[in-house]
Structure 1
Amino acid sequence: MKYRSVPCDASVLSPSKTGVLLVNLGTPDAPDTPSLRRYLAEFLSDPRVIELPRLLWKIILHGIVLRTRPAKSARAYQSVWTDDGSPLLAISKQQQHAIKNALGADVPVALGMRYGNPSVSHALRELQQQKIDRLIVLPLYPQYSGPTTGSVFDAVTEELRTWRYVPEIHFIQNYMMEPRYISALSNSIQEHIQTYGLPQKLLFSYHGMPQRYADAGDPYYQLCVRTTQLIEAQLGLDEGICMTTFQSRFGKEEWLKPYTDITLEHLPAQGFKHIAIVSPAFSADCLETLEELAVENRDLFMESGGEQYHYIAALNDRADHMEALVHLLKIYLR
């Protein structure tokens, strides 16, 4: 095997140089069917995401899913695409810029997407060219799960195992317990309440996951519930106001419950006509928040008899969010 390297010089004897790798889920290159087919093929081929026998899933993926889903997904992406491209990538770049400015010129900060571009490998090779000997990996998923954070670990180690000189690594597994992160989320919700009033129900909608993954030991469900509890306590809200739900399920098997869309469909009949919804699992707004939560689920709620529906934006590059992530990174800097 040929290992990737950069020329060795006296810098290896100098004080250590730390690089930061930020990773988010990813995005297609364009909101069209061919781009979505490539993106979904990479995403849905990850065994962390789809835990089915490989041959069986390959037949389903290429025989059914990639023949039907890309066109539908392309239409959804077209509804949220901006002049700067994918919202997720544009916001992630803003976060990268803010973190880099806060950490200073001596700490290179690279951005990689787990699926699509810029890839994790591309971002790591940027850092390699700057001759880092320490690496901090921050997956931008507050709550750990195998299909997200675990998959980032796989991608990082897959690239690093091809390097001749492997840096010291600090992999941040999750940060949902970080007080500054909880404060940033609480601040965003409190600001919303000050503007629109206290909703009858405040839904904390997290990205879904098959129930069998949790049954097999993935801690994601417990981490999501704990996140809701921490924010609820910080805001001093009545326990009956807050609900933890799960969105974006795929396929016919059972996923984590309660489901966000089913919950929204039933709430008006139970007398809850004014709701607000926030998605703490997403560090940046993306298709699942801007289209699914802000539009699709709003329509579902209003058509079911709701009267007020508000989506509270992801933390994105809010100053308090960036301060929370910078504080987290500085723990591992030296």
Structure 2
Amino acid sequence: MTSSDPKYQHRKTGVIFVNFGSPESLDYFSIRRFLKHLLLDRRVVSLPRLIWLPILYGFILPFRPLGLLKSYKAIWKGETSPLLHYQASLINQLKERCKEDIIIESAMIYSNPSLKTAWTSLKAQGVRDVVLFPMYPQYCSATTASVFDQWQKLMVNEKFMPGLRFIHSYHDDPHYIKQIADSIREHWKKVGKPDHIIFSYHGIPQRLFKQGDPYFCYCSKTTRLVAESLSLKLSDYTMSFQSRFGKEAWLKPYLSEVIKDKASQKCKIIDVITPGFSIDCIETLYEVGVEYQEEAAEKGSVLRVIPCLNDHIYSVDMYRSILKKLKII
């Protein structure tokens, strides 16, 4: 490689949009592999290894994939998972819209395409500056910080380290708030307004918040800004948290408790939107869209789930607007 190589005659910028990941196939071993990568991350489970590893290898990995197989079957989209399907579609649209400005790649933290694959592709195209864009609107140590950790590990043996710009959060970005609000308006235009709307976010242990993780504050701000955009009264909406794992206390109120409370107040139609998820996945499609729908029905209420932005033109425009605002394109 020399300075005469046309790839290196001017600085190129690459953007890697990074998401959580998903099992790549609808089978026991793919789900087990995904769970293993996820649950070995110390940001996700911070228990001492002497305690956690016997639990993980002795109980969770042998049996949990069997239970999840049914859940994934209920939401699987053709040959792949919804998250991988929508992410690929979104990235292809962004590549088309931004092809003259930057080089775009997609990556997953706990499945393929990996961060390493994305960086290898960018490096081969002469990219010297990288924008790492975690697709989690609200910063959280268990998600956003894990992306940075993975990038650091990738760079340990890298002889050429590119310039790096890390997108920390976009929880209060006007473009993001507008698109979430517009997706709710579009939903209401089709099916009518509910008696109550719940903004549900993936939960985290309360101890992380006490240790300085701002996630709860960012979720609160997103909820408030969207509610203000929709001119909602405080009595019209509630913020909640879902997907609790383990026995310790997580951020509250739990989604199940809010559903129970609103059903007892005779709210017959309840909408749920999950602004912390950029793309629909098992937590939104099955946990909320099946399990919590059934729970609400048992209490006499109808739970309607508002889809994530996914690969909608809303999402494409939002990410392009954020990149433009940050002067990346």
Q: What corresponds to 1:139 in structure 2? A: 134
> Any residues of structure 2 matched to 1:202-241 within 5 Å, and which?
202-241=197-236
Residue 248 (1) aligns with residue 243 (2): yes
SS of aligned partner of 1:187: helix
Q: After superposition, give the CA deviation of every residue in 1:234-279 in whole Å (9 maximum; x if it has no partner).
A: 1111111111000111111111111112221332122212110000
Q: What corresponds to 2:306 in structure 1? A: 312
Once the 2 structures are TM-superposed, how far is the Cα of residue 8 of structure 1 from its aligned partner? Answer: 4.0
With normalisation by structure 2, the TM-score equals 0.96
Residue 31 (1) aligns with residue 26 (2): yes
Q: What corresponds to 2:296 in structure 1? A: 301
Q: Judge conservation of contact 1:170–1:332 (CA < 8 Å) in 2.
A: no
SS of aligned partner of 1:112: strand
Q: What corresponds to 1:56 in structure 2? A: 51
Once the 2 structures are TM-superposed, how far is the Cα of residue 95 of structure 1 from its aligned partner? Answer: 1.1
Q: Judge conservation of contact 1:31–1:75 (CA < 8 Å) in 2.
A: no
Distance 1:191 1:106 in 2: 31
Q: What corresponds to 2:91 in structure 1? A: 96
Once the 2 structures are TM-superposed, how far is the Cα of residue 132 of structure 1 from its aligned partner? Answer: 0.4
Once the 2 structures are TM-superposed, how far is the Cα of residue 9 of structure 1 from its aligned partner? Answer: 3.5
Amino acid at match of 1:312: I
Distance 1:191 1:131 in 2: 42
Once the 2 structures are TM-superposed, how far is the Cα of residue 21 of structure 1 from its aligned partner? Answer: 0.3
Distance 2:275 2:137 in 1: 8
Residue 270 (1) aligns with residue 265 (2): yes
Q: 5+ residue gaps in structure 1? A: 1-6
Once the 2 structures are TM-superposed, how far is the Cα of residue 19 of structure 1 from its aligned partner? Answer: 0.6
2:328 aligned to which of 303, 325, 333: 333
Amino acid at match of 2:272: I
Distance 2:327 2:158 in 1: 22
Q: Judge conservation of contact 1:20–1:137 (CA < 8 Å) in 2.
A: yes
Once the 2 structures are TM-superposed, how far is the Cα of residue 321 of structure 1 from its aligned partner? Answer: 2.1
Q: What corresponds to 1:323 in structure 2? A: 317
Once the 2 structures are TM-superposed, how far is the Cα of residue 107 of structure 1 from its aligned partner? Answer: 2.0
Q: After superposition, give the CA deviation of every residue in 1:50-105 in whole Å (9 maximum; x if it has no partner).
A: 11112211111111111221111121111111114110001001111111111114
Distance 2:182 2:270 in 1: 18
Q: Judge conservation of contact 1:180–1:321 (CA < 8 Å) in 2.
A: no
Q: Kindly tell me: are residues 13 and 30 of structure 1, through their superposed partners in 2, closer, same or farther at Cα, counting changes over 3 Å?
A: closer
Q: What corresponds to 1:261 in structure 2? A: 256
With normalisation by structure 1, the TM-score equals 0.94
Once the 2 structures are TM-superposed, how far is the Cα of residue 197 of structure 1 from its aligned partner? Answer: 2.1
SS of aligned partner of 2:84: helix
Amino acid at match of 2:284: T
Distance 1:187 1:106 in 2: 27
SS of aligned partner of 1:110: strand
Residue 19 (1) aligns with residue 11 (2): no
1:40 aligned to which of 27, 35, 55: 35
Q: CA RMSD in A?
A: 1.4
Q: Which region of structure 1 is more displaced relative to structure 2, 132-141 or 12-21?
A: 12-21
Amino acid at match of 1:289: T
Q: Judge conservation of contact 1:247–1:260 (CA < 8 Å) in 2.
A: yes
Q: 5+ residue gaps in structure 2? A: none
Q: What corresponds to 1:290 in structure 2? A: 285
SS of aligned partner of 2:73: helix
Identity %: 37
Amino acid at match of 1:280: P
Q: Judge conservation of contact 1:180–1:320 (CA < 8 Å) in 2.
A: no
Q: How many residues align?
A: 327
Once the 2 structures are TM-superposed, how far is the Cα of residue 36 of structure 1 from its aligned partner? Answer: 1.1
Q: What corresponds to 2:107 in structure 1? A: 112
Q: What corresponds to 2:177 in structure 1? A: 182
Q: Kindly tell me: are residues 106 and 268 of structure 1, through their superposed partners in 2, closer, same or farther at Cα, counting changes over 3 Å?
A: closer
Q: What corresponds to 1:76 in structure 2? A: 71
Q: Which runs of 4 or more aligned residues in structure 1 lie more than 4 Å from their structure 2 counterparts after TM superposition?
A: none
